[in-house]
Amino acid sequence: MTTCVRFAPSPTGYLHVGGARTALFNWLFARSTGGRFLLRVEDTDTERNRDELTDVILDLLGWLGIEADGEPVFQSDNRSRHREVVEQLLRDGKAYLCDNENNEVVGAELVEGLAVRFRVASYEQETLNICDVVRGEVSFAAAEMEDFVLWRSNATPTFLLANAVDDIDMGITHAIRGEDLLPSTPKAMLVMDAMGAVAPTYAHLPLLVNEQRKKLSKRKDDVSLEIWRGRGYLPEAMANYLATLGWGPPDDIEIRPMAEILELFRLEDVLKSPAFFDPKKLEHFNATHIRRLSSEEFLARLEPWFEEAAWPAQRYRTEVMDALGPMVQEKIRTLAEAERFVDWLMLDDPPVDVASWEKAIAGNAVARDILSEALVVYADTPWQADNLYEATKTLGEQHGLKLGKAQAPIRVAITGRSVGPPLFESLVLLSREEAMRRLQMAINKLD
């Protein structure tokens, strides 16, 4: 049997990181089993749907490297099929018409203004058993279930009906989705059974929780995938991290290429306990993936981030970035951080970071002496990183300071910030004349 799975987002909001994880696990299962991965846009909520959100969702899935087999299916296009199934259930006595007070109305044809409910009593078994790949055997007592709505009085199908019908018609063999949908599963199975169809195998993935081990909150947590892309996270790092939320490789090596994850992924290995979405761990994954890029690829990834940078386009120097790139690559954790590591080279004057200035220069009793003496020493020092290192080290020793303390005011005078790429290599790239000018600017500012 060829496996077939689907990811079914609703274009009523952003793509949640939990939804992205669900899409990824479906895609991993399909690719690792030689099956098909389909995309179904569940757009039956006409009041809340936003067409532009469909484009955003598709774009973000593509950014993650999740490509569907074939064009997306829009659930709204299947409206006539949903109606056909409801009409058949009415004729079979497995559903009934009801008014707005939930009173049954006699009839076997759809009537404008009336809803349709599924008749749970038509199911002959006492329990519904779900053999969930992740959660094991889960049972629901049919007697405890109330009749539920299939068709609204405004002539639209409910999520439950549309979801069940489309899964059957699309040939879905495995429904891999979040555990929040587990309570609705027996109802979907009742509908499928009434249609004379066999339900897919279910796998309900664990919830994602925050640091307080509570379900991720739209109000308190950054749950939109778009936010993380906008902060400069690599798609391969995000996909890698999402793959570890509820699943882990047998060798415990978490940070690895997607090709290796595909070889190792097994749906049976997914855990049922909640998965902690840890921003700090995600940042570590991202920093590691950044380090693993080739120098050429790293610079190529930075280009979009520099298109709207603070410096004029004509100030950008390719040869400087070629030299500075490897140093920046070792320092940053996200692509968005790169600008502040290089802007001081592209701007006429260094940027002003007030906190850095106050700590390293304005509030530093020896800063003026360090800057003044550096101005004299650097005038005759061979303009190479090793020579500048030794000269600065000696200058610091004369004041009883270690190198880190001695170079702090110099770094802020040159780059505007306390944190950045290696100072002495940066001085070489800046040029002696510009470095001396900036040191003098800092001294003058203290006067």
Contact 246, 135 (CB under 8 A): no
Return the bridge partners of 95, or none: 118
Question: 42 by DSSP, 3-state: which?
Answer: coil
The confidence score (pLDDT) of residue 309 equals: 83
Length of the chain: 447
Whole-Å CA distances, 184 to 42, 102, 131, 193:
16, 20, 15, 15
- Distance, in Å, from the CA atom of 271 to the CA atom of 259, rounded to the nearest integer, reads 21
> Taking all residues of the chain, what is their mean pLDDT, rounded to a whole number?
95
Contact 263, 281 (CB under 8 A): no
- Residue 66: band (very low, low, confident or very high) from pLDDT cuts 50, 70, 90: very high
Q: Residue 113: which residues within 8 A CB-CB, separation 6 or more? A: 153
- The answer on pLDDT for 354 being more than 90 is yes
pTM for this prediction: 0.92
Residue 199: its H or E element: none
Annotate 95-119 with DSSP letters as a single string.
Answer: EEEE-TT--EE--SS--TT-EEEE-
Q: Is the pLDDT of residue 125 over 90?
A: no
- pLDDT digit string (tens) for 423-445? 999 999 999 999 999 999 999 99
pLDDT at 347 over 80: yes
Share of the chain above pLDDT 90, in %: 89
- Taking each helix axis from N to C end, the angle separating 432-446 and 367-380, rounded to the nearest 10 degrees, works out to 160
pLDDT at res. 318: 85
Q: Produce one character per residue of 380-399: b if its CB has 16 or more CB atoms within 10 Å, e if not.
A: ebeeeeeebbebbeebbeee
Higher per-residue pLDDT: 220 or 370: 370
Average pLDDT over residues 329-339: 96
Distance CA 325, CA 358 (A): 29
**pLDDT confidence tier of residue 292, bands split at 50, 70 and 90:** very high
Contact status, residue 215 vs residue 276, Cβ threshold 8 Å: no
pLDDT digits (tens, 9 = 90+) for 21-45: 999 999 999 999 999 999 999 998 7
Q: Which pLDDT score is estimated for 168?
A: 98
Nearest to 10 by CA among 178, 132, 171: 178
Residues in a beta bridge with 6: 38
Query: In Å, how far from its chain's centre is CA 363?
Result: 41
Quote the tokens at residue 35: 């099956």
Q: What is the pLDDT of residues 321-330, one digit of tens each?
A: 899 999 999 9
Tokens at residue 275, please? 């998965």
Give the tens place of pLDDT for each residue, 144-154. 999 999 999 99
Alpha helices in 94-213 (DSSP H): 159-169, 185-194
Amino acid 124: pLDDT: 81
Poorest-pLDDT segment among 187-201, 215-229, 356-370, 379-393: 215-229
Query: What is the rounded distance in angstroms from the CA atom of residue 445 to the CA atom of residue 447?
Result: 5
Q: Is the pLDDT of residue 46 over 80?
A: no
Query: If pLDDT is split at 50, 70 and 90, which confidence band does 216 have?
Result: very high
Overall average pLDDT of the 197-223 stretch: 94
> Nearest Cα to 190, choosing from 164, 166, 172?
164
The HSE-up count of residue 211 (CA atoms within 13 Å, CB side) is 7
